[in-house]
Amino acid sequence: MQDIIVITGQTATGKTSLALKLAQKHGGEIVNCDSRQIYKYMNVITGKDVGKTKFIEESKLNNFSIGFFPVLTKFNNFSARFLPVFTNLWLYDIVKPDRYFSSFDFKQCALYVINSLKSRGKTPIIIGGSYFYLKHLLYGVDTENIPPDWKLRIKLKDKSVDELQKILAKHSTQLISQLSQSERNNPQRLIRKIEILQSRAKRRYVQPLGLEIQTQGSKTNEKLLLTKKLSLENMQIKFFGLKFKNKDLLQRSVEKRVEERLKHGAVAEVKKLLKMGYSETDPGLKTIGYQQLMMYLKGAIDFDTAIQLWINKEVQYAKRQYTFMKTDKNIKWRKV
């Protein structure tokens, strides 16, 4: 039995289905690693596969909701009766859509859950396509000891990409010249870069990597590190990477997924979120699908254009996912 199982890869490749099969086989529980599914009220477009089960909150960690959904894996035939078999799916619905949630926050929450599962003899099955979250959890990053600066983030929240680039350039023209095109146009990444540079300017040194969290029912803090050295040398990790065989299959799969989510109420979900007071500038709603449907509902584009934009963005995202992930030589790829 592996200490940890990791399932990652491109969007719409069937990662959840594989995770449920492995959970049943290894006596595991699933730990979500999708940067959109961590948000509450965003269920249809993000593809949360939880059916009608209800969220069970186990604890609070820095005001984050840590809990799980019981998810059906199969039915056992016992004395001519079919009895449902469930596994737990963790780290959905951690925060509301208007709250920032960083890879630093994710690592904090994931370590709590992994520690809890290991203490109960369960195999954590980490699943998701948000590779930056996964990379931070397994390998660490040299800035992980710099926590989010929420006051700064609120101040920069409504700045345009151009304004954020100018602010970052004032701190470091060298750094902004080294950013990829994707990073240059990603407001959350730009804000994080500004945050890191401002933090470093206030400090003369960076402390060693480490994260201390309060374990359930314990009076003492237990230091947990899934750094590159500890996780890959001292823990047995099985990696699965799922990717499409070709571009045509990717295109068809994304089109099918978008169609299914429309049938399941994607437009109604966006209307409800807008009615609740959330907007396209909230961190959670800066998400493919939501952005395009909000443009449609506000009359900026017609319905067909919104759907085509949604599909195009999903396909582009899937291609970027593999570009980033293929540099990780620990991932063993499977074509689907």
What residue type is assigned to position 137 of the chain? L
> Given the DSSP bridges, would you call strands 28-32 and 81-90 parallel, antiparallel or unpaired?
parallel
Four-residue CA torsion sign, 49, 55, 58, 62: positive
Task: Please tell me whether 10 is known to bind a ligand.
Answer: yes
Q: How many Å apart are CA 160 and CA 175, to the nearest integer? A: 19
Task: Please tell me whether 14 is known to bind a ligand.
Answer: yes
Q: How many Å apart are CA 124 and CA 90, to the nearest integer? A: 10
> Given the DSSP bridges, would you call strands 221-223 and 212-214 parallel, antiparallel or unpaired?
antiparallel
Task: Please tell me whether 11 is known to bind a ligand.
Answer: yes
Give 182-198 as a DSSP string. Answer: HHHT-HHHHHHHHHHHH
Q: How many Å apart are CA 121 and CA 26, to the nearest integer? A: 11
Give 74-94 as a DSSP string. Answer: EEEEETTEEEEEEEEEESSS-
Q: How many Å apart are CA 123 and CA 31, to the nearest integer? A: 10
Helix (H, G, I), strand (E, B) or coil at 205: coil
Taking CA atoms, 69 is separated from 4, 174, 181, in Å, by 20, 45, 37
Helix (H, G, I), strand (E, B) or coil at 146: coil
Taking CA atoms, 147 is separated from 188, 226, 236, in Å, by 14, 17, 29
Given its phi and psi angles, is residue 265 left (phi above 0), alpha (psi -120 to 50 degrees) or beta?
left
Task: Please tell me whether 128 is known to bind a ligand.
Answer: no
Four-residue CA torsion sign, 279, 283, 284, 286: positive
CA 199 to chain CA centroid, Å, is 25
Task: Please tell me whether 87 is known to bind a ligand.
Answer: no
Q: Which helix (H) or strand (E) holds 280?
A: none
Residue stretches of the annotated binding site for substrate? 11-16
Q: Which residues are annotated as a binding site?
A: 9-16
Where is the binding site for ATP, in residues?
9-16
